[in-house]
Structure formats: C-alpha cells, structure tokens
Structure 1
Amino acid sequence: MSLRTVGAVQGQLGFESMPRKLIKVTPSRLSVWADCPRRFRMAYIDRPTPPRGGPWAHSTLGAVVHNALKALFDLPVGKRTPDAAAALVGTHWKDDGFAGSEQAATFRERAAGWVHDYVAEADVDHDPVGLERWVSAPVGTIVAEGRVDRIDQRDGELVIVDYKTGRHALTTDDARGSQALALYVLAARRTLRRPCTKVELHHLPSGTVSSWEHTDESLARHLRRAEESADEFQLATDTLKAGGDPEVLFPPTPGRQCSWCDFRRNCDDGRAAGPQIEPWAMLAP
C-alpha cells in the first residue's frame, strides 16, 4: 500500500490532527519493510509473534565471527594475536543450520582462517570506543538506533566499522549506499557527541575494506529515505490498530526472497513463490 493511500485512511480516522511522535527506526525494520510489509507485520506487530523457521548456517557463521572479534578486543593488547583470534572462533562456534558436522567443521576452519588473517593485517592495539555498541538518538522525525559492530576513534573522529562474512566482496558503492551505516553515523555522533562521517565495511573472506566518507548532503538523503519508510510503516500500524484490514495495509511481496523467509510457513503467497532452500544454501561454495 502506498503512503498516499494509507494517509487518506488516516485522515478519515482523524489521525491528521494528532501530535506527531518520533518513530523508532532500526536498519532491520527498514530492511524488512522494504522487503515485504507482511513480513514486517509478522515480525514487529503480530502478538504472539508467529513461529519462525530454524537457524541458517550463514547467520551462524556471521555471528561466530562477530563474537570472536568482540572477544578478541576484550583481551589485553598483548594477547590480541592472530592465533588467539582464530582460537576464539572455536570457542564461540555452533553447528546450527549446517548440513552436518563435516560441513560445519569445514566452515569453522575457514572462519578461523579469515579471523586469523584479518587480525594479522589490522591494527588491534587500540581499544575501540564501542564493541557491539547500541546507539540511539532523535534525528529529524525518527529515532535512529541500532547495534554497531565496532566504533573506532581515529584522529579525533569516530569511524563506524561493520564486519561482513557474505559470499561476495564489497565495494565503495556498498559502503556509500548502506542506509544502515548512515543511520549509525547519525546516531553515534549524537550519542557519543563526537564528529563522525566515515563508514567501513570489513569483508573478512576477501580481506578487503570498503570505505566511504559521508557529507551532510549524503546523510540527509539517507535520512529522508528512512523518514519516508518510517512514515509508511507507522501509518499502516496505526491504521491497523484502529481496525484496518491487515491484508490491505501489509500486503505480501512475493519473490525469490520467500525461499528463505523466516515466516514462510505462515504465508501461502510465500510458499507459492518458490521452493524453500536448505539452511546452508547461502554459504559460499
């Protein structure tokens, strides 16, 4: 449903004259709304929340790498060695979502190698300003918030660092176009009261770093997009609470993404869109 259509319904219900509240926004909420409004409703509005599917191997892999790197920075500087980092992968490892113990062992070894090589090349002698740091701040018509993998301070300015373990290497365009990283910049500079413009994507499988230096103009563009999406899902949510039709307000968006949707079992349209993939299908070959 378009913002204009929902807005018309809101006007009929008398919401236009109500005081406007700031809308809490996380990158995850924005991504899910853009992906599929029905999935958004199931994830964030329906109570009780419909049952989700099982774990995904690629998500397990990413979580293990994140946890290992966080644990590394909790160590004294002298113990932050590549071997220690690789060992922490084993400490935090889980087999959830993998095809079996053999496949899990293969990727455990692979992840340990990524982390080892990353720490061998990275500067780990300085303590980050934040690790898995939650930031939240009012910006424009929203409250931008989320959990940042790492926040560094370099030359008096904050740098947002996001770890990636996906199948494909990333580019400068990925860093520039990431709405999540832009929102983290806006929230971090308000939360920590320090300058912040730079974002970095650290892709461990390829050992590459893609960075972007935001300007006020580029941040404003990301903020406008986030505000528009937030208006849409908040209008739909308020209208639903006032008795609106959930199927009209939160329509499905069937597509290839339905093959790995966590709410597939609760969505006839999603199941009809295509076969479900295996939990390990999104791992790199």
Structure 2
Amino acid sequence: MQEQLGFDFGAMPKKLVRVTPAKLATWADCPRRFRMAYLDRPAPPRGGAWAHNTLGAVVHNALKALFDLPAAKRTPEQAVALLHRHWKNDGFRDEEQAAVYRGRAEGWVRGYVDELDTSIEPVGIERWVSTPTSKIVAEGRVDRIDLRDGELVIVDYKTGRHALTVDDARGSQALALYALAARRTLRKPCHRVELHHLPTGTVSVWEHTEESLARHVSRAEEAADELGLAGDTLAAGGDPEVLFPPRTGNQCTWCDFRRSCPEGRQAAPTLDPWALLAP
C-alpha cells in the first residue's frame, strides 16, 4: 500500500550494536566467556575475587574520591587516607600479604599525587561517554577526562605488574573509543590519550589522528558484527556451543567462569587468587 501511494521507505535501518571496550575485549578473548558474561540468563556463577583486581579497584576509587574534594585538600596525605578508607582484603592470601600491598599502593598514590597538578578540574571523573558510528554505539566509563588548551585528554589509570609503553597507548582500542565518545558527549576535540602507570610513575602518551581513530572504529565494528550476529542467531535457537566456542589459552587461568568451562580447566592450571600480583 505504501508503494502504491508513492512512498518508498526502503529497508529498515539495521539496529546499532551497543558495545563497550570490555565487551569487545571479552569477545576477542573468548566467545564462550562473552556468552556467559553478557547473554546467559541466569549467568553462570563467577569465581571469587582476585587480589590484583582488588588492588586496582581500590586505587581507582581513592583517586576518584580525591578529585571529589576541593583542590586545596587534594594532598598526597589525603590520597593515602582515601586509599585506607576504600581498602579491601578480597583475594589476598591473608592480612599480612594485604598489608604489604597496601603499603605499596600507599607509595603509588602518594608519589602520583605529589607530582600531579591537583589544581586542575577534570571535566569528567568516572564519566560515562557514548557515540554512535555507522554500525555501533561505542560507550564506556573513563577514569578521568582533562581539558587542556581547549582539547579533551583521556586519562586511564593502570596498576598492573608490567610497565607500559607508547605502543600500549597507541594500540588501546578502549582509549581510542573513549576519545571518540568523549568528543561526541562533551562537544570538544579529543585526540590525546594517556596511560598513567602508578607503580612506575610513568605516563604513556599517544596523539591519535582521524585516520588512526577510524582504524580502531573499523576493527570495533567488525567485532560488533560478529558478536551481534552470534547473539541474534542464539536468540533464534542456534547452538551456543557452535556460535560461542571456547578460545583456550593462558587466559583460562583467571577466567571468572572457569568452573563452568571444562576446556578452560584443562587448558590452564588453577592459580591462587593472589598469584597475579607483582612479586
């Protein structure tokens, strides 16, 4: 009837796939893990806490709380006090081990804040940003967004055991998508991304071009096509084992869904929850 009246609305537009850097990383890591984390309902039980994740979360929370304070109170001593306020022992072997790493974390945040211009007022702390592309809606929560000389800067805190390089900043799909999403959300240009590695006190920087950002988007869209098709086929009655096969490797050691994955348990040994802490 619509064509007879002279209207041609064409094909229905394809629904944009909503993705976060975490979703894309999980899909790349292991399709089965993606299904268990984001599609299965009820989701399979997850494993317990890992000490290195607890350590990272505590540091992030302390720095977030620091920037909630007036600039005059953003001192290294206050940062350490906030670390203590947010501290948890989840995943550590015992209180003695937790105390050792709490001491290390105290040194990290003290040194970081001591070198930081705490008078700056970030335009975003743990800010949710989002942007559509031709195929996806890329979104996520950014640790910190600064405004410097009229441009946004993406700041990502890291507490891992390994030092980071410029290549890590350049190759981070998460940082690239955050830059695009922050640009769209806050209506200001954004090309610079930074990884702030607190254990070493180093900052790894990359200045994206429009071309490098477009390459990251293209890869994200390809992955979103794959995971979206797999999810739609599953909803239509497809075989989950075929659509979401396990991708085994060393990552199976710390997978949250290890107990529900026989292939993962066979592929990698069980580790203690504190095994991934820096020695």
TM-score by length of 2: 0.95
CA distance in structure 2 between the aligned counterparts of 1:112 and 1:81, rounded to whole angstroms: 13
Superposed CA deviations along residues 117-170 of structure 1, whole A, max 9, x for unmatched, are: 000111111110000001112123110100000000000100000000000110
**How does 1:264-279 map onto structure 2 within 5 Å?**
264-279=258-273
Runs of 5+ consecutive residues of structure 1 not aligned to the other structure = 1-16
Q: Residue 102 of structure 2 corresponds to which residue in structure 1? A: 108
The correspondence for 1:243, drawn from 237, 241, 247, is: 237
Q: RMSD in angstroms over aligned alpha carbons?
A: 0.8
Give the partner amino acid of 2:50. Answer: W
CA distance in structure 2 between the aligned counterparts of 1:44 and 1:220, rounded to whole angstroms: 26
Runs of 5+ consecutive residues of structure 2 not aligned to the other structure = 1-10
Q: CA deviation at 1:274?
A: 2.1
Residue 182 of structure 2 is aligned to residue 176 of structure 1:
no
Q: Residue 99 of structure 1 corresponds to which residue in structure 2? A: 93
The answer on whether the counterparts of 1:139 and 1:186 sit within 8 Å (CA) in structure 2 is: no
CA distance in structure 1 between the aligned counterparts of 2:69 and 2:243, rounded to whole angstroms: 49
Residue 47 of structure 2 is aligned to residue 86 of structure 1:
no
The correspondence for 1:216, drawn from 202, 206, 210, is: 210
CA distance in structure 2 between the aligned counterparts of 1:110 and 1:254, rounded to whole angstroms: 33
The answer on whether the counterparts of 1:56 and 1:97 sit within 8 Å (CA) in structure 2 is: yes
Q: CA deviation at 1:275?
A: 1.4
The correspondence for 2:153, drawn from 159, 165, 183, is: 159
CA distance in structure 1 between the aligned counterparts of 2:52 and 2:93, rounded to whole angstroms: 12
Q: Residue 131 of structure 1 corresponds to which residue in structure 2? A: 125
**How does 1:55-66 map onto structure 2 within 5 Å?**
55-66=49-60
CA distance in structure 2 between the aligned counterparts of 1:271 and 1:89, rounded to whole angstroms: 35
Q: Residue 228 of structure 2 corresponds to which residue in structure 1? A: 234
Give the partner amino acid of 1:172. Answer: V
Q: CA deviation at 1:18?
A: 6.1
CA distance in structure 2 between the aligned counterparts of 1:194 and 1:94, rounded to whole angstroms: 37
Q: Residue 6 of structure 2 corresponds to which residue in structure 1? A: none
CA distance in structure 2 between the aligned counterparts of 1:129 and 1:140, rounded to whole angstroms: 27
Q: Residue 201 of structure 1 corresponds to which residue in structure 2? A: 195
Residue 137 of structure 2 is aligned to residue 143 of structure 1:
yes
**How does 1:12-91 map onto structure 2 within 5 Å?**
19-91=13-85
Give the partner amino acid of 1:272. Answer: Q
TM-score by length of 1: 0.93
CA distance in structure 1 between the aligned counterparts of 2:179 and 2:216, rounded to whole angstroms: 11
